[in-house]
Amino acid sequence: MVCRKFVMTPLKIDRRPLKDIFVDLELTCPTKWLNDFFCGKIAKALETLQVRAVIHWEFELDIRVIIPTYNEKDNITELVKQILALPINTQIIVVDDNSPDGTGQIARQLAAQDSRVGVIHRAGKLGLGTAYIAGFKKGLAEGADRLITMDADFSHDPAYIPALVTLANYYHITIGSRYIPQGGVVNWEWQRRFLSWGANAFARTMLGLKANDCTAGFRCYHREVLLNIDLDKIFSNGYSFLVEMLFKCQRQGYQVGEIPITFANRTHGQSKISQREIYKAMYTVLRLAGTRLIPQRRILVSALPPLPANSDSSKNLLEKPASHP
């Protein structure tokens, strides 16, 4: 017989908040116990009754959302507000490259108003890849369990973050994907659609990547993944950084899962993707393709439970938030 559950919150173990504590009381009642009890030998019966308490606890995940910024003053305040309003334990790291429009100063003000917001101020426009790495290092140093990367221009809707985190219970890296069923893009001209589709097909073919959206920047990484990838040895910067990270993670044996998202083109500010970035991404794919024949040192990868098949929880991950058409 097992009695469950007593929930005691909020508590902390090793300075980390506990999501729940369960106490299982297991009572073992031998047949002789019943005979003694009903025969009036209560004291003797209590000696044979066996009680065992098993305590289980579950930590609340420590999540960091890393947002690189350059001239995003029209977006950053509302984006931070929406992320902090999510029903999960989320903190934000803004990595600003000395934006001329004052984005860094706005981020500093947001950090002064809410301790869940942190800011890394950099001297200039040093590139997307190094911005992610700076955010990763800060989040890891602060003990984050999950680290999420996203754009600052609302092309990545914060409403998808809980689903990314939930799917990460079953995969080491999760991606908000435009190229799986129910995913897509809006407000893109056909040339950009073709270019994006072609870049993904090229990367998947040349590098053997299993993800459908290899160039997506909306991702959630397990802490373990980033600790085992030598971030300082990633050669790519810019948007090609995303392809190289995914390639290295897959080569290490980490599992990748995807949720469908609708990618919306920015409504404020200017796109940072240039013709040069496209050529750099092509070069990165060719460079990495040449390393596929080099043996990869295998590491011990944590085992994760399989995604439940045909369950309500798995179906919910494949549905858009209510705010989307």
pLDDT tens digit sequence for 89-119: 999 999 999 999 999 999 999 999 999 999 9
User: Are 164 and 218 spatial neighbours (Cβ–Cβ below 8 Å)?
Assistant: yes
Residue 35 has pLDDT above 90, yes or no: no
Q: Give the end of a domain, one of 10, 38, 59.
A: 59
In a domain, 325, yes or no: no
In a domain, 323, yes or no: no
Instruction: List the beta strands (DSSP E) in 60-207.
Output: 63-69, 90-96, 117-121, 146-149, 173-177, 184-186
pLDDT band at 2 (very low <50, low <70, confident <90, very high): very low
> CB atoms < 10 A from the CB of 110, how many?
21
- 54's tokens: 């098993």
CA distance 97 to 125: 5
User: Are 149 and 93 spatial neighbours (Cβ–Cβ below 8 Å)?
Assistant: no
In a domain, 322, yes or no: no
> CB atoms < 10 A from the CB of 203, how many?
26
Instruction: List the beta strands (DSSP E) in the chain.
Output: 2-3, 12-13, 16-28, 50-59, 63-69, 90-96, 117-121, 146-149, 173-177, 184-186, 219-222, 256-260, 262-264
pLDDT in tens, 62-91: 999 999 999 999 999 999 999 999 999 999
User: Is the same domain home to 244 and 140?
Assistant: yes
User: Are 16 and 59 spatial neighbours (Cβ–Cβ below 8 Å)?
Assistant: yes
pLDDT in tens, 235-250: 888 788 999 999 999 9
- 153's tokens: 């221009």
Contacts of 276 (CB under 8 A, 6+ apart): none
Give pTM, 2 decimals.
Answer: 0.80
Average pLDDT over residues 7-15: 44
pLDDT in tens, 165-175: 999 999 999 99
User: Is the same domain home to 134 and 228?
Assistant: yes
Residue 109 is predicted with a pLDDT of 98
Residue 81 is predicted with a pLDDT of 98
In a domain, 97, yes or no: yes
User: Is the same domain home to 273 and 164?
Assistant: yes
First to last CA, the chain: 49
User: Is the same domain home to 98 and 189?
Assistant: yes
Q: Where in the sequence is the domain holding 20, given as residue range(s)?
A: 2-59
pLDDT band at 311 (very low <50, low <70, confident <90, very high): low
In a domain, 247, yes or no: yes
User: Is the same domain home to 195 and 236?
Assistant: yes
Contacts of 273 (CB under 8 A, 6+ apart): 239
Top pLDDT among 13 and 197 is at 197
User: Is the same domain home to 208 and 103?
Assistant: yes
User: Are 117 and 108 spatial neighbours (Cβ–Cβ below 8 Å)?
Assistant: no
Of 25-39, 146-160, 165-179, 188-202, least confident by mean pLDDT is 25-39
Q: Is the peptide bond before 44 cis (omega within 30 degrees of 0)?
A: no
The domain tally of the chain equals 2
Residue 37 has pLDDT above 80, yes or no: no
In a domain, 220, yes or no: yes
